[in-house]
Amino acid sequence: MNKVNQDNAPATQNIVKNRRQLVLWIGALAVGAVLGTLGLHGLDALMTFVATVYTRLFQFLAVPTIVLAITTTLASIGTQKDTGRIFRHAVTYTLLTTFAAAAVGLILYLLIRPGNLPAQMVAGGQGAIPKTLGGETYYDHILAVVPNNLVQPFLEANVLSLLLVAAAVGIALAKMPVSPRRDTVMNLLLGLQDILFMLIRALIWALPLGILAFAAQLSAQVSAGVVADSLGRYIAVILGGNVLQFFVVLPLFLLARGINPVRHLGRMLPAVLMAFFTKSSAATLPVTMDTAEKRAGVAPKVSRFVLPICTTINMNGCAAFILVTSLFVMQNGGTHFTLPMMLLWLVIAVISAIGNAGVPMGCYFLTLSLMTGQGAPVGIMGIILPIYTIIDMVETAENVWSDSCVAAMTDKDMKGELHR
């Protein structure tokens, strides 16, 4: 019994720590909102400076995080043995559930129709970025995805181009025979990824200051009634899509495979709650694997292969967030969407989410990078940041719930073919 208590102690400490962090973030949001109403010019200028610094730091970390996550994931897949069938099942369910999540978000966006933010705020955010895409056709935009050198995609923050490069390098590493040279490259990439995660954790540690600044900036610059209506509709789309995916779409997938969704959710509840408080599917992974095997009865050969992969590529909540937020930000920048354009962005959101790192605020970093590459008014991402804490918690819980569903469905498909 003492051994069990000792094993559970770190998880309990993490939950308490993250609850305290949540209280601190909410407190920073409240204090920032109050400071913004004071109307002090010097204070407003300081808050704007701090908010700009945080936005630049997010942009700095976003691109390399995406590239390394995709490269290392694809490269590591190639080192696994006798997992071809498991991998195919897992990827199929991942794509189906992720497309479904993005589609639900798109449908809600069309039904609820969030309005635009005040023009002065959009203009302020737009003034900080170059207008490089105004005269481009879609042919030019698609052609620009194919890089002609290694440096240009990084300098331009062209995420689609970087996704292509990362995928190519990852697949090439996966196909390379095992050798000291390959191991050296992999260790270098994994080491760089660890460094980035350390930097992200440091930025998140100091994030209350950023939230305070963004909340003060929002409170000082924007008419509360207009923003409340526009942001309220945006939040309704994001959270409504997550709720539908969590309680309707994913259970329907489980029922189609003959799995009781209520029973499975009850067994996976410890991992889902852990994900809610940590806001990181990667940090929750050990709990997810242990819960899937010991409580949900998933074969270890399935859980220990599928769940680590799903932590990176199965991002239901992230796909919906990327799509809805991208549409919202670009709409505020003056873009008028047709249905084919929205469907194109649905595909982009799914592809981008597949390469997202399972770390806190990973979806936020990814969306910010995408919008930077599009020349959209990324200042709006600062307005979203104070409310992203709650969104991130809900999305991470949904992602881990989806990971467990993919593992359970794959396990059901592979029954009789695995030695347990």
- pLDDT at 86 > cutoff 50: yes
The pLDDT of residue 18 = 58
Give the pair of three-digit tokens for residue 303.
């859980």
What pLDDT, in 10s, does the model give residues 266-280?
889 888 887 886 677
Count of CB atoms situated within 10 Å of the CB of 63? 22
Calculate what percentage of the chain has a pLDDT beyond 70. Answer: 74
CATH number for domain 43-126+135-413, candidates 1.10.10.10, 1.10.3860.10, 1.10.287.810, 3.40.50.1010: 1.10.3860.10
The pLDDT of residue 136 = 42
Answer for the pair 284, 401: CB distance below 8 angstroms, yes or no.
Answer: no
Looking up tokens 């997992």 gives 83
- pLDDT at 4 > cutoff 90: no
The pLDDT of residue 54 = 75
Query: What is the average per-residue pLDDT within 336-351?
Result: 89
Query: What is the average per-residue pLDDT within 295-316?
Result: 82
The pLDDT of residue 137 = 44
Q: How confident is the model at residue 5 (pLDDT cuts 50, 70, 90)?
A: low
The pLDDT of residue 261 = 95
Instruction: Considering only residues 17 and 36, tell me which one the structure prediction assigns the higher pLDDT.
Output: 36
Question: C-alpha distances in angstroms, 272 versus 115, 189, 278, 284, 291?
Answer: 33, 30, 10, 9, 10
- Segments in 158-206 forming alpha helices (H): 159-175, 180-205
The pLDDT of residue 226 = 45
The pLDDT of residue 225 = 47
Distance in angstroms (rounded) separating the CA atoms of residues 280 and 258? 29
Instruction: Considering only residues 407 and 386, tell me which one the structure prediction assigns the higher pLDDT.
Output: 407
Distance in angstroms (rounded) separating the CA atoms of residues 74 and 78? 7
Answer for the pair 286, 26: CB distance below 8 angstroms, yes or no.
Answer: no
Distance in angstroms (rounded) separating the CA atoms of residues 187 and 199? 18
Q: How far apart are the first and last CA of the chain?
A: 27
Distance in angstroms (rounded) separating the CA atoms of residues 24 and 88? 43
Distance in angstroms (rounded) separating the CA atoms of residues 368 and 53? 14
Distance in angstroms (rounded) separating the CA atoms of residues 84 and 98? 21
- pLDDT at 357 > cutoff 80: no
The pLDDT of residue 290 = 80
Calculate what percentage of the chain has a pLDDT beyond 90. Answer: 21
The pLDDT of residue 409 = 96
DSSP track, 42-64: HHHHHHHHHHHHHHHHHHHHHHH
Distance in angstroms (rounded) separating the CA atoms of residues 399 and 267? 16
Instruction: Considering only residues 48 and 137, tell me which one the structure prediction assigns the higher pLDDT.
Output: 48
Instruction: Considering only residues 109 and 354, tell me which one the structure prediction assigns the higher pLDDT.
Output: 109
Query: What is the average per-residue pLDDT within 311-335?
Result: 87
What pLDDT, in 10s, does the model give residues 362-380?
678 778 777 876 777 777 7
Q: How confident is the model at residue 100 (pLDDT cuts 50, 70, 90)?
A: very high
Q: How confident is the model at residue 355 (pLDDT cuts 50, 70, 90)?
A: low
Distance in angstroms (rounded) separating the CA atoms of residues 130 and 235? 28
Answer for the pair 23, 31: CB distance below 8 angstroms, yes or no.
Answer: no
Lowest mean pLDDT among 122-131, 164-173, 312-321: 122-131
SS (H, E, C) 121-151: HHHHHHCCCCCCCCCCCHHHHHHHHCCCCCC
Per-state percent for the chain, helix, strand, coil, to nearest 5 = 80, 0, 20
Q: What is the mean pLDDT of the chain?
A: 77
The pLDDT of residue 384 = 78
Question: C-alpha distances in angstroms, 229 versus 2, 331, 392?
Answer: 53, 15, 21
